[in-house]
Structure 1
Amino acid sequence: MIPGLMQTRQLQIIDILAYAATAHGDVEIVSRLVDEPITRSNYRLIRARTERCAKALLKLGVKSGDRVATLAWNTHRHFELFYAVPGLGAVLNTVNPRLFDKQITFILNHAEPRVLFFDKTFLPLVERLAPQMRTVETFVMLAGEKAHIAGEVEALCYETLLATEDDGYAWPTVDENAGAFLCYTSGTTGDPKGVLYSQRAVVLHAMGSSLNSAFGFDAFDVVMPCSSLFHATAWGLPFAAPLNGCKLVLPCEKMDGASLQELIVEEGVTFSGGVPTIWTMYLAHLEQSGAKPGELQRVVIGGSAVPRAMAEAFKKKYGVQVLQIWGMTETTPLGVIATPTPALAELGEEALDEAIWTRQGRLQFGIELRIVDDDGNDVPRDGESSGALLVRGPWTIQRYYRAPSDAADSDGWFDTGDIATLDQYGFMRITDRKKDVIKSGG
């Protein structure tokens, strides 16, 4: 081997925000908040707040490798933690507040965070579960006020923490293979399992998901993640959007049709993504109100299959392109996305729509797919032959957090638990689910 002579700078998540603040610092970040007015900021100002947040975390005793947990919605404060925590070399554990109390307690005691940040909405939940949290030393409410939790425990005020610090911070160099985000599967047949994303995986995922074959972002896009920040980092949108200079709109917890429509129209949203339930409510609102979806161009839908009627309504009534996406917590989470190809376009609009609406998506750089029979042999790429779906790549899991052995085999292949087909155009379709597996869509 002849060694390459290029620089070996580490891939670090904080560099995405640093780039955004430098290259397009005036691009807006618009955020709804719990019981507060809509906040308008930009990448430059958010970088400054993130630097203050990092200093506050250090004063709370957070060190490299420590876990910091959140119970929070899609807001600019949660977004700041997405950069401040891994920027220090610590790990952000985003907890799904919709899980059962027993599951939330298990996750927090398994992850062992030292600090818990939470939105005001979840104060009753935190009060209820705090006595069972074995490692949490400090509670911080993501608001402009303090809160009493239980007994002698008080929650600090996030805005006060930031106000006591000044701008500017020299971020440490963090190994790109260091853990950055700890996301848990929503286990239905057992305890949730932790998936520990590395700095490298998150940065590469942001770059890969930005390709034209995937989300296809550019600086004219206005991105609104309706997938929750606690669900596999909202499909990586908090990283792909600033990487591409996109205006970012964060809807907090308000996912009803009227609330989404207000942001879509007033903020000029061009791209959004979320589960079918959200878009069912949104389409119902448009139908009842007679409104139009403003500048909305693309809606990416994942979590479950897209109903044909939903896809047709978006396209035929409103001119909005619907794209299916498939992934899982274990793939950071992008696996495939159903974007058009010239080969399919040549078959006509009807055939193209059929492929995009009935298949989970096409092969993407960064994720290798195999579909194998019971003997481990690849099945034909004919769109009919089905088998076990295996994946591998730089943002695919190797081992679950604290597990005694690898989740992937010796060649790096991870068995997703899905049964699928692959056609001659490179489009994958999920046909079934293996029995007795952990649900990993969260």
Structure 2
Amino acid sequence: MKGLMMEQPLLVASLLTHAERHHADQEIVSRRVEGDIHRYSVADLGARSRRMANALASLGVGRGSRVGTLAWNGYRHMELYFAVSGSGAVLHTINPRLHIDQLAYIVDHAEDRVIFFDLTFLPIIEALATRVTRPTLFVAMCDPDRMPVAGPLEGSLLCYEDLIETYPDDYVWPRLDEESASSLCYTSGTTGNPKGVLYSHRSTVLHTYAAALPDALNCSARDVILPVVPMFHVNAWGLPYIACMVGAKLVFPGPALDGKSLHELIEAEQVTVSAGVPTVWQGLLTYVASSGCSFSSMRRTIIGGAPCPTAMTVQFQDLYKVDVLHAWGMTELSPVGTVCNLKPHQLAMSPETRHAIQAKQGRAVFGIDMKIVDANGKELPWDGEAVGDLLVRGPWVARAYFRDEAHQVLQDGWFPTGDVAKIDQDGFMQITDRSKDVIKSGGEWISSIDIENVACLHPGVSSAVCIGARHPKWDERPLLLVVRKSGNTVSKEELLAFFDGRVAKWWKPDDIIFVETLPLGATGKVLKNRLREQFHSHYGADPAPASR
């Protein structure tokens, strides 16, 4: 027997409609590419999104058409989140930090009909215009008086604000199939071509529900949310959608992501919660420490994209009273999978014990099921000791990649994440390594992440990365690359001694190399593959490392 409930599809546009009805006066603040601050309301967001939906229809963008964006976090980008997806087209957020060859491949693979761009990325757009294989329109996200000279875009360049002014806001959002595609995001893989992950309206709305929950990102109408994580990277972890669902104020940082700019924006707008990768927060903490500042409003920060060093958690919480929510996810998970919110019995534990728990990636949010398996696919116990390959499933987990549906990705209905992890009795999952980053020394496994976390506890270390370098006797041995904190002169011998008692003796790196910077990828993660290629023979082994 079927239930007797109404059939209301879960659609992205419904998030905006809800926000307009219940939070019309809520503010959206954006630091623009031009450097000034733009303010308007949720009501303005709704009206301009409908205007843009009409404009897209006039440009021939139909249901299922892909519309690309190369843009920072800002109000115009937010408008496209709803104008494109809400009208039935597919929002394709493009990561401008990728190499031009990858960008050209992505645009062609997605078959983008129109690409919207911030003026910062004009050189990229001009390069793309000469390489795309089908006619594409380009829309500069600026006022008419700031339009660039058309140049190689002659005949295909339009102005965003001209489109907004040309069309009315009396658009009615269509009733779509909730399983239809809403947005598209490509992975930033370090090998091979990027893969497209196609999200549905249903998966996006369900992800928004779950990510906003108190034991997840814990967002409400009382929050002021600053998404530092880019809107071109997995929909800014869903925060623009969450803000509409719960009625929170949004603050967009634009391109200014240095510590000083972020701190000034946090204080000026009284931000309560922000989200970003560890490399961004390291810059913020360095600025705050050097300038003697503090945080008057921020109460929590969401850290993901890479493991959060315990030293960063301690600094945020013990020095500045900002709670850290360590989270884990993937492009293929929309992206939120787990969040490290402590359970009641853990709150009374010692600070050191709590910090150790917070180093884990946390508990699965409702909707995500996970397990760890051995090399034979046998499920391993949740005892905090057993380590295995992490598999997940859920209503916002990818089952295939865009335009590659015939390729079997799932393993008996589970998505293989490529992470190696363990899960404790309370359900807290901890990534011990990426399968490609784990170090095999003398037939035993060493976690590069554990080595990095210990290194970052040293007061003289700004950041560190551990890789496996080929070794003539042990196959691989840990090699640590370290960026010192400004003005610090910590030596190799001092840092190696720091590991004593903190890791097993055979886990200690055989050598440490001090570097000025570490190579970062398009999403702010350290490019370990590049470092492995550069230092694979550091210990004197001649054979090239196995492909990872």
Q: Give TM-score scaled by structure 2 length.
A: 0.78
Please report how far the alpha carbon of residue 411 of structure 1 lies from its aligned counterpart in structure 2 after TM superposition: 4.2
2:37 is aligned to 38
Please report how far the alpha carbon of residue 66 of structure 1 lies from its aligned counterpart in structure 2 after TM superposition: 0.3
1:61 is aligned to 60
SS state at 1:239 partner: helix
Please report how far the alpha carbon of residue 37 of structure 1 lies from its aligned counterpart in structure 2 after TM superposition: 1.9
Q: Which runs of 4+ in 1 moved over 4 A?
A: 439-442
Q: Deviations over 1:292-319 (max 9, x none)?
A: 1220000111111112221111111110
Once residues 410 and 420 of structure 1 are traced to their aligned partners in structure 2, the CA distance between those partners, rounded to angstroms, is: 17
1:284 is aligned to 286
Q: Deviations over 1:96-124 (max 9, x none)?
A: 00000000001000000100000000111
Check if 1:161 corresponds to 2:163. Answer: yes
Residue type of the alignment partner of 1:379 = L
1:350 is aligned to 352
Matches within 5 A, 1:305-324: 305-324=307-326
Once residues 45 and 405 of structure 2 are traced to their aligned partners in structure 1, the CA distance between those partners, rounded to angstroms, is: 39
Please report how far the alpha carbon of residue 409 of structure 1 lies from its aligned counterpart in structure 2 after TM superposition: 3.0
Matches within 5 A, 1:426-437: 426-435=427-436
Q: Deviations over 1:406-437 (max 9, x none)?
A: 55436420000111000001100011222399
Matches within 5 A, 1:215-234: 215-234=217-236
Q: Deviations over 1:15-50 (max 9, x none)?
A: 101101110110100011111521101111100000
Once residues 332 and 136 of structure 1 are traced to their aligned partners in structure 2, the CA distance between those partners, rounded to angstroms, is: 30
Query: Judging changes above 3 Å, is the alpha-carbon distance between structure 1 residues 346 and 37 closer, same or farther for their aligned structure 2 residues?
Result: closer
Name stretches of at least 5 consecutive residues in structure 2 with no aligned partner. Answer: 439-520, 525-548
Once residues 418 and 319 of structure 1 are traced to their aligned partners in structure 2, the CA distance between those partners, rounded to angstroms, is: 31
1:402 is aligned to 403
Residue type of the alignment partner of 1:119 = D
Residue type of the alignment partner of 2:179 = N
Aligned residues: 439
Structure with the greater alpha carbon radius of gyration: 2
Please report how far the alpha carbon of residue 285 of structure 1 lies from its aligned counterpart in structure 2 after TM superposition: 1.0
Check if 1:78 corresponds to 2:77. Answer: yes
Once residues 171 and 163 of structure 1 are traced to their aligned partners in structure 2, the CA distance between those partners, rounded to angstroms, is: 19
Query: Judging changes above 3 Å, is the alpha-carbon distance between structure 1 residues 367 and 105 closer, same or farther for their aligned structure 2 residues?
Result: same
Residue type of the alignment partner of 2:250 = L
2:302 is aligned to 300
Matches within 5 A, 1:30-429: 30-145=29-144, 146-147=147-148, 148-150=150-152, 152-356=154-358, 358-409=359-410, 411-429=412-430
Instruction: Determine if contact 1:27/1:245 at 8 Å carries over to the other structure.
Output: yes
Once residues 259 and 404 of structure 1 are traced to their aligned partners in structure 2, the CA distance between those partners, rounded to angstroms, is: 43
Q: Give TM-score scaled by structure 1 length.
A: 0.96
Please report how far the alpha carbon of residue 349 of structure 1 lies from its aligned counterpart in structure 2 after TM superposition: 4.1
Residue type of the alignment partner of 2:71 = A
SS state at 1:153 partner: coil
SS state at 1:99 partner: coil
2:21 is aligned to 22
User: Over aligned residue pairs, what C-alpha RMSD do you find?
Assistant: 1.7
Instruction: Determine if contact 1:185/1:441 at 8 Å carries over to the other structure.
Output: no
Once residues 441 and 28 of structure 1 are traced to their aligned partners in structure 2, the CA distance between those partners, rounded to angstroms, is: 28
Percent identity among equivalent residues? Answer: 47
Residue type of the alignment partner of 1:81 = L
Larger relative contact order (CA 8 Å, sep ≥ 6)? 1
Please report how far the alpha carbon of residue 151 of structure 1 lies from its aligned counterpart in structure 2 after TM superposition: 6.0
SS state at 1:132 partner: coil
Residue type of the alignment partner of 2:373 = V
Please report how far the alpha carbon of residue 350 of structure 1 lies from its aligned counterpart in structure 2 after TM superposition: 3.5
SS state at 1:196 partner: strand
SS state at 1:317 partner: helix
Please report how far the alpha carbon of residue 348 of structure 1 lies from its aligned counterpart in structure 2 after TM superposition: 4.1
Query: Judging changes above 3 Å, is the alpha-carbon distance between structure 1 residues 85 and 15 closer, same or farther for their aligned structure 2 residues?
Result: same
Once residues 119 and 403 of structure 2 are traced to their aligned partners in structure 1, the CA distance between those partners, rounded to angstroms, is: 31
SS state at 1:281 partner: helix
Once residues 348 and 43 of structure 1 are traced to their aligned partners in structure 2, the CA distance between those partners, rounded to angstroms, is: 43
